[in-house]
Amino acid sequence: MRAVIQRVTKSSVAVNSETTGKIGRGLMVLVGVEDGDTVKDAEYIAEKVAGLRIFEDENDKMNLSVTDVGGEILAVSQFTLLGDVRKGKRPSFTRAARPDEADSLYRKVIEFISSRGINVEEGVFQTHMVVDIQNDGPVTILLDSRKLF
């Protein structure tokens, strides 16, 4: 499972021009589920996202988590995070999980994060979405539950 986490001042997602999720200060999290991922991968990603210390403390040092700053999370499923472009220029998505499996594990990530008392807004699975991200810093972190990077 892969995730791209961006520290944001605000972020939103819309489907057919209708906002489905909107947050203020917090984290924008794009989640890609890989074929073979399990609940353990979802737990790993959720734990890392909830605990990432990428907000500044009183000494301007990245030392606080989204929970510490009372932030929110906007989660969007994004199978293209599994796109492989090592051969050619057109991405191959053969490593992405099938939609039913991906949706189930994406929901687990949201469930695990929410269980920590963090408000999680979200996009709509398997639809065309327009995501507005106001990256703060910019700060962007890449996660892979298989620890490939």
5 within 8 A of 49, measured Cβ to Cβ? yes
pLDDT by residue (tens digit) across 22-38? 999 999 999 999 999 99
Band of residue 148 on the pLDDT scale cut at 50, 70, 90: confident
pLDDT by residue (tens digit) across 81-128? 999 999 999 999 999 999 999 999 999 999 999 999 999 999 999 999
**Cβ burial, residue 85 (10 Å; 0-12/13-18/19+):** exposed
pLDDT recorded at residue 149: 81
- The whole-model pTM stands at 0.95
Catalytic residues: 78-80
In the predicted structure, residue 65 carries a pLDDT above the cut 90: yes
